[in-house]
Chains A and B, each alone.
Chain A
């Protein structure tokens, strides 16, 4: 009975267009934020941070980024891994070239650099559409990975060809490098996730978001009612790549610490993030979180079940994971193309009328 609109009157248009129009949703949102910021940091240990929380947060940012491009603007990209690599190498070059500047600034700059690169690879989207574009983004994926592999300047001529993150501090606390405490890793990622999610939400609810969705739903009609397709698509590519670049930077600097580009940012990563968007729900910020959580938890759950309980070899479980992910993708596309977010929405709609069926 708590969950309803009745009695919650809106007197201004601003109030009517807020993110959570229902009071109960607003409370829950603040509760989740409070727990994430004030409770979890005191309980997080190394296993939880490294196996679940930190990858979940970072993939959430990447999924939000791809969701802007694919879910909101309708441009399917298979270049996410390549763009994450741009973020990672940008932050690495910045960290080593300007050691005195705060890492926070470096991560944001890495996002901006990725935005520029993403917009450049987005240029062909004006002429190439649908899965032609999807295949064209593979060019970005393979070319960028090759570039970071072959040009020694990017990895500072290190003998191994890897990049590894030097130790950096925020307010005297290490956030990168081997000495980083799990709660510090968690908090810096959480900070970026919170800001990115709010920014993405703002972008998608205003006039720009409507331009993207118009292009997605019917590009010709969109152009005739006054959407500049070039500008709409390029801003989508840029905004999307900005978030993906930040995700890549954090993935390298905070999460992995050392990276070999083909392994960390290969084509598999592109698919993983795309799957997060599909399973979570295309065109939904909440869905990006749900999808990221699902695909971070699935391997952990399968491992616990397969290796620890059933005693199967871990390679078999890894293969089983492919089957599960592939099967789920097909299942969701058939049964619920709008993903977990839609299931959530339907539940909420039912809840609104509860205990009555209509």
Chain B
């Protein structure tokens, strides 16, 4: 394991940068239940970082801590070398952290285009009055951001459904639109909560390709939760393994695969 904060190059030639996000000793409780127990790990610039573990291991809770939706009772969150004070989710989004959701959270009353445009909100600054007048700053801003969104629509190959209400889309496309919305924010860190859940093999292949392309072309750092081990092992640079709210493994896919505790957690072991 490489613990030093310095950038390095992996065996297959991928550039891994400095530490982008550093979770230090995070503990999260709901009432008496400890969802996360004293977990530390980091996410480096440019890498694809996976979180795996059985159901109820605390993966989604960890993602919620990163995106500011849950506030841990103990521990510190460091982002880009600075300690992050307790923040509201929308403030976290403005720092450049975007995400998708386990159960698709698109805005059903809006078209695909409008949904993706909401991803640009953190970049749109015109106020109430300018919006009322429209001609001038508001329209200019709208057109500029529309251009960015159109690039992402091209990238994810969803040109044909631009104006379709999202409610009418099939599941796989909804997942893709959700990814588009997160990408539209041009995030520094992209969190994906089970991006391939419920997909068939073909759709999974498509989604994997998109994730790799995003990482490659935009240089976006990605942290993802996924249950499909094959996908995780293929995609990710490093893996955190969680079980019952604890971290039981951390390292490259190869290291994790041979970790005895991880094997126990997944295959089950007789407890005395």
Q: Do any beta carbons of A and B sit within 8 angstroms of each other in the complex?
A: yes
Please give the residue numbers on chain A whose beta carbons come within 8 Å of chain B beta carbons, in ascending order: 12-14, 17, 199, 202-203, 205-211, 213-214, 216-218, 220-229, 235, 238-239, 283
> Which residue in chain A gives the minimum CB-CB distance to B184?
A225
Contacts of B114 in A (CB 8 A): 210, 213
Contacts of A17 in B (CB 8 A): 142-143, 146
Contacts of B119 in A (CB 8 A): 225
Interface positions, chain B 125-161, Cβ under 8 Å from A, are 126, 128, 131-134, 138-139, 141-143, 145-147, 150
Binary per-residue interface labels of chain B (193-205) against chain A in the complex, 1 for a CB within 8 Å, 0 otherwise: 0000000000000
Decide if B229 is an interface residue (CB 8 Å cutoff). Answer: no
Least distance between A294 CB and chain B CB atoms (Å): 23
Q: Kindly identify which residue among A13, A221, A225, A283 contacts B121, using a CB–CB cutoff of 8 Å.
A: A225
Decide if B236 is an interface residue (CB 8 Å cutoff). Answer: no
With most chain B CB atoms within 10 A of its CB, the pick from A203, A226, A239 is A226
Binary per-residue interface labels of chain B (73-109) against chain A in the complex, 1 for a CB within 8 Å, 0 otherwise: 0000000000000001110111000110100011111
Cβ–Cβ contact B132 & A203, under 8 A: yes
Least distance between A112 CB and chain B CB atoms (Å): 12
> Which residue in chain A gives the minimum CB-CB distance to B67?
A224
> Which residue in chain A gives the minimum CB-CB distance to B69?
A224
> Which residue in chain A gives the minimum CB-CB distance to B99?
A224
Least distance between B68 CB and chain A CB atoms (Å): 8
Least distance between A54 CB and chain B CB atoms (Å): 25
Decide if B263 is an interface residue (CB 8 Å cutoff). Answer: no
Known: A223-B89, A224-B93. A207 touches B110 (CB 8 A): no
Cβ–Cβ contact A207 & B131, under 8 A: yes
> Which residue in chain A gives the minimum CB-CB distance to B122?
A226
Cβ–Cβ contact A217 & B109, under 8 A: yes
Contacts of A238 in B (CB 8 A): 128
Contacts of A202 in B (CB 8 A): 131-134, 138
Complex Cα–Cα for A199 and B131 (A)? 8
Contacts of A12 in B (CB 8 A): 143
Contacts of A209 in B (CB 8 A): 131
A-B contacts besides A207-B141, A214-B121, 19 pairs, CB < 8 Å: A202-B133, A206-B138, A207-B124, A207-B138, A207-B142, A214-B110, A216-B109, A221-B101, A223-B90, A224-B69, A225-B98, A225-B99, A225-B119, A225-B181, A225-B185, A226-B122, A227-B90, A228-B90, A283-B109
Known: A207-B124, A224-B69. A13 touches B141 (CB 8 A): no
Contacts of A206 in B (CB 8 A): 126, 131, 134, 138, 142
Contacts of A239 in B (CB 8 A): 128
Interface positions, chain B 145-185, Cβ under 8 Å from A, are 145-147, 150, 181-182, 185
Please give the residue numbers on chain B whose beta carbons come within 8 Å of chain A beta carbons, in ascending order: 67-69, 88-90, 92-94, 98-99, 101, 105-110, 114, 117-122, 124, 126, 128, 131-134, 138-139, 141-143, 145-147, 150, 181-182, 185
Cβ–Cβ contact A203 & B131, under 8 A: yes
Complex Cα–Cα for A210 and B128 (A)? 13
Complex Cα–Cα for A227 and B106 (A)? 14
Known: A216-B109, A224-B67. A210 touches B142 (CB 8 A): no
Known: A217-B108, A217-B109. A207 touches B93 (CB 8 A): no
Least distance between A267 CB and chain B CB atoms (Å): 28
A-B contact count (CB 8 A): 113
Cβ–Cβ contact B93 & A13, under 8 A: no
Interface of B is mostly: helix
> Which residue in chain B gives the minimum CB-CB distance to A12?
B143
**22 sample A-B contacts, Cβ–Cβ < 8 Å, listed by A number:** A13-B143, A202-B133, A203-B131, A206-B126, A207-B120, A208-B128, A213-B109, A217-B109, A218-B105, A220-B69, A221-B106, A223-B89, A224-B89, A224-B92, A224-B93, A225-B93, A225-B182, A227-B121, A228-B88, A228-B90, A235-B128, A239-B128
> Which residue in chain A gives the minimum CB-CB distance to B162?
A16
Contacts of A218 in B (CB 8 A): 105-108
Q: Kindly identify which residue among A13, A203, A214 contacts B118, using a CB–CB cutoff of 8 Å.
A: A214
Least distance between A244 CB and chain B CB atoms (Å): 16
Contacts of A213 in B (CB 8 A): 107, 109-110, 114
Least distance between B154 CB and chain A CB atoms (Å): 14
Contacts of A229 in B (CB 8 A): 90
Complex Cα–Cα for A213 and B90 (A)? 16
Complex Cα–Cα for A227 and B121 (A)? 7
Complex Cα–Cα for A12 and B134 (A)? 16
Contacts of B185 in A (CB 8 A): 225-226
With most chain B CB atoms within 10 A of its CB, the pick from A12, A210, A216, A222 is A210
Contacts of B109 in A (CB 8 A): 213, 216-217, 283
Cβ–Cβ contact B101 & A210, under 8 A: no
Closest CB pairs A-B (n = 7): A226-B93, A221-B105, A217-B107, A202-B134, A207-B124, A226-B122, A13-B146
> Which residue in chain A gives the minimum CB-CB distance to B125?
A207
